[in-house]
Amino acid sequence: MTATPLIAVTNLRKSFGTNEVLKGVNFSVNEGENLVILGRSGSGKSVTIKCLVGLIPTDEGEMKVFGTDVAQLSYQELNEIRLRIGFLFQGGALYDSMSVRDNLSFTLKHHSPKLSNEEVQTRILEVLENVGLAESIDKMPSELSGGMVKRTAVARTLIIKPEIILYDEPTAGLDTITSREISDLILAVQKKYKTTSIIITHDMACAKSTGNRIMILKDGVINAAGTYDELEKSSDEWVRSFFI
């Protein structure tokens, strides 16, 4: 693992009306690293990663992704950065009017219009095989289980070969076994595609298995950071309460 920070966030602040959600968040993620962000509901975890891809405009602070401050980019420039980032939404956010195949081909064809139909289908099959969903290629999102929706969403992010993947609660709403499968998938994806990831989760098993480093958000700032083992033995009772 090299020590090049792919993501560097400095003094990130964000308010919604009078509610100051982020009060100066600082962190960095190195290339090839999996950073897990923990925190109570409403602590600003999802807001942080949505700011990183420009879905939510920031109030203040610098967010360098691939060395470029995303808050200062034009829409066109931001889209060029977005093509190098995958984002897994909490509910999967699959296009519900399209089949699994079309969910994947939609993004691919949009960005690579010169690819032949055969090449598109090969890429789709390859990615679906990697997430274990090749047999569900023609199913509609409404026919998929919760775990399959997450797998399809992972496949959809992988189709554009991102260098960074942001996971927003990848195991939310799933049973223990399926959650473990998704955690294993995150690790497999990182190994195969050499991605760097930020994983927002409440699932401690997922945090333990996927995270190289864990960061805990409290009251709009980073309250604690370290490895799973370090934080589990923290002197701060509030930090330890996550690991019980």
Partner 1 sequence: MLDKIKNSFDDAGKLSLFTARFFKEVFKWPFQLNEFLRQCYVIGYKSLPLVTITGFIMGLVLTIQSRPTMSKFGAESWLPSMVSLSLIREIAPVITALICAGKIASGIGAELGSMKVTSQIDAMEVSAINPYKYLVVTRVLATTIMVPILVFYADFIGILGGYIGYNVHGNASMYSYFTNVIEHLEFLDILPATIKTFFFGFFIGLIGCYKGFNASGGTASVGHAANSAVVTASLSIFIIDMLAVQITDLFFS
89 binds partner 1 (CB under 8 A): yes
CA distance 172 to 90: 7
Q: To the nearest whole angstrom, how small is the minimum distance from the Cβ of residue 123 to partner 1?
A: 15
Left if phi > 0, otherwise alpha if psi is -120 to 50, otherwise beta: which for 8? beta
Q: Which residues within the stretch 21-50 sit at the binding site for partner 1 (CB under 8 A)?
A: 50
Stretch that binds partner 1, among 63-71, 76-84, 189-197, 203-211 (CB under 8 A): 76-84
Closest of 66, 5, 64 to residue 32, by C-alpha: 5
110 binds partner 1 (CB under 8 A): yes
For position 53 contacting partner 1 by CB under 8 A, the verdict is: yes
C-alpha of 16 from chain center: 22
Q: Does 83 bind partner 1 (CB under 8 A)?
A: yes
* HSE (side-chain half, CA atoms, 13 Å) at 167: 35
Give the binding range for partner 1 (CB under 8 A) out of 25-33, 60-68, 79-87, 194-202: 79-87
Nearer to partner 1 among residue 186 and residue 231 (C-beta): 186
The gap between the terminal CA atoms of the chain, to the nearest Å, is 30
Nearer to partner 1, 115 or 221 (CB): 115
Q: Phi and psi at residue 30, in whole multiples of 5°?
A: -85, 160
16 is an interface residue for partner 1 by CB under 8 A: no
Q: Decide: is 68 part of the binding site for partner 1 (CB under 8 A).
A: no
- Looking at the Cβ atoms of 53 and 185, the one nearer to partner 1 is 53
Upper half-sphere CA count for residue 28 (Cβ side, 13 Å): 12
Separation CA 207–CA 189 (nearest Å): 16
For partner 1, the binding residues (CB under 8 A) are 50, 53, 55, 75, 79-80, 82-83, 85, 87, 89-91, 93-96, 106-107, 110-111, 156, 160
